[in-house]
Structure 1
Amino acid sequence: MEQLNLIPEEVVTELKNHKNAKLPDNTLKMLQILARLDTPKELLATLLEIAEFSIHHIRYLAGPLVIYGNAWSDTIPQWLKFACIQDRLELICNEYQKNQVGEYATATEVLTYMMPATYDAPLHRDYANLYLWVGNEVLTKYDKLPKDCQSFYEFIDGNTRNSGSKSIIHFHQVKNDFHDISQSIRRSIVKHAAQQGWGKRRVNAKSKLDELENTHPVEISASSSVQMNLF
């Protein structure tokens, strides 16, 4: 399989030799680098499966993007779709290191879900505040703001000299709505991945890698999505 050429030999060896002990930090970092190279999430999820991550984590990574159901879903930029997969894997690795299985999706996924809804009609104030908060978190993290803007709030206000403290949204203001939507998103992702057959059985690492090597290259699948209305 062509995508396997992206995986350093030491990572494959580490996955093959994995015996109950946790993967070392450098292997987890290498997996996240692969995600930043736009490696298909199905391949990344298979690597987690080989490394015996929790079924929930495997399904969360392999599942589709959840997008607000309307005609504007094609307005979501491709970089944001790939960022969802990168941030999913980052969150999964953090939970893995802490022996945790979380219940919330990432800010990037919440932004991706909400973006089409903003074209339909003005959002309720609470959701508008949430959109501003996740927008600032994601656009700042991925350096997608205009050069003369230091925050998403400045961009929305159209004032690059003084963003104004009144327009800044803090997490405690949107915490409940973020938890509600991100929890629904993550549950939906895991449910759809289970329906697709992910995590139904544990596999032998070597046989799974051999199977991957003998299959045709999979398509970059960050664009796979399901539409639904969560608010």
Structure 2
Amino acid sequence: MSGRIAKWSVKLSAYDLVYEPRAAINSQALADFVTDFSSDIQQEANWKVQQLDQDKGKWILFTNGASSQGVGLGIILKSSQGGIIPQAIKCDFQATNNEAEYEALILGLQLSKDLEVKIIHVFMDSLLLANHFNGSYAVRSEKLTEYMHIVKNLAEKSDSFIIEQVPREENAEADALANLGSTFRIPTKIKIPIIHILNPTTYMPSLDEKEIIREVAKQDPQVNEVAATENVVGQDPQINQ
């Protein structure tokens, strides 16, 4: 994924979008589209891309690795503008828990590098890895030494880079994504929607609440009136394995 496309994915992560391969397009249809494309829209699009390119604020990266039933990695990258990129990754190779932690960190840093992030603060619950990087613990394993070499090379690409160890409960989201990648056995192309339920199924909305839901459904095509009335209020962007 190119850096510019990845930056747009941050902005679009709040929407339930499904991307499909582009089919062949009739040349005349393409010509008509180009003709109809307003110069004002082009200027606005260029301005939006410029804003993304100039994002020099601090980004936050949460990572975690799990190897309980398989190897899974969890990554949550948060931009300085509030965008979020969550990733649950399943690894088709064996690794120890410490190796999985390194894999998650490296993939998170590679994603940051693709986005041209210059200021990044990493949070993880692995005390060993954080102290390896900060120099408090010596790296004794040959394989972990190789991992640390990659981490330091990626860190040098940033203007400011910090790794901080946090309690597990403060890294719960990345931990959940890592466990999902570790334990779930599904085909590669299957997508997993996360559905938010506002109330328990025993809850009965009042007539006023039902009327509000209907009005919201009319104004927002993404809201399904029937689902909303039954307390299902929406879906998060789908997480890919």
TM-score bin (small chain): under 0.3
Bigger share in strand: 2
Q: How high is the TM-score relative to the length of structure 2? A: 0.26
Q: How high is the TM-score relative to the length of structure 1? A: 0.26
Bigger share in helix: 1
Per chain length, whose mean CA-contact separation is higher, i.e. which structure has more relative contact order (CA < 8 Å, sep 6+)? 1
